[in-house]
Amino acid sequence: MAIQDIQDEIIDEFSMFEDWEERYQYMIDLGKTLPLIDAEYKTDDNLINGCQSKVWVHAEMKDNSVIFTADSDAIITKGIIAILIRSFSNQHPKDILDANTDFIDKIGLKEHLSPTRANGLVSMIKQLKMYAIAYQTQLS
């Protein structure tokens, strides 16, 4: 599925919720579906800076697609990274680079986009895109 379609799907799922509580509960549930990073990659080198909680991300390339795995010690953060990975994983690096992240706003998590926000959503997006840049360079 294309990134845009996945994001539309996520927007659609979140549109069912009436209030923040249901949205957060769903985000927490999505955190449980996160493709977990292998223990061997859960190192300080794979930590994302700028998060109050710890977030580890690992990337590898398979058949010209970038596969992301991750983990966090905070469960709301885990939900956020799960949403990002669902949207960006198994995609061509160029598509990841071209993708925008407006959908975060549309699912009512805009407050997490502020650069001062301690969960570092902005840093997470940056890190995923950095991996995409690295793999795109390998391909070209």
Active-site residues, by number, are: 51
| Shortest distance in whole angstroms from residue 53 CB to other proteins | 5
- 36 contacts other proteins (rule: CB under 8 A): no
Q: Which two tokens stand for residue 113?
A: 């986009």
Question: CA end-to-end span of the chain, whole Å?
Answer: 23
Q: What residues contact residue 100 under an 8 Å CB cut-off, 6+ apart?
A: none
CB of 93 or CB of 108, closer to other proteins: 108
Helices in 2-58 by DSSP H: which ranges?
A: 3-14, 20-31
- 109 contacts other proteins (rule: CB under 8 A): no
Q: Which two tokens stand for residue 135?
A: 């793999």
Which range of residues in 38-46, 48-56, 88-96, 123-131 is near other proteins by CB under 8 A? 48-56
Specify whether the CB–CB gap between 139 and 96 falls below 8 A.
Answer: no
Which range of residues in 36-44, 71-79, 97-105, 130-138 is near other proteins by CB under 8 A? 71-79
- 25 contacts other proteins (rule: CB under 8 A): yes
Q: Using CB under 8 A, which of 4, 11, 17, 24 touches other proteins? A: 24
| Shortest distance in whole angstroms from residue 100 CB to other proteins | 25
CA-based R_g, the chain, Å? 14
Mapping DSSP to helix (H, G, I), strand (E, B) and coil, where does residue 50 land?
coil
- 28 contacts other proteins (rule: CB under 8 A): yes
Residues in binding contact with other proteins, number by CB under 8 A: 15
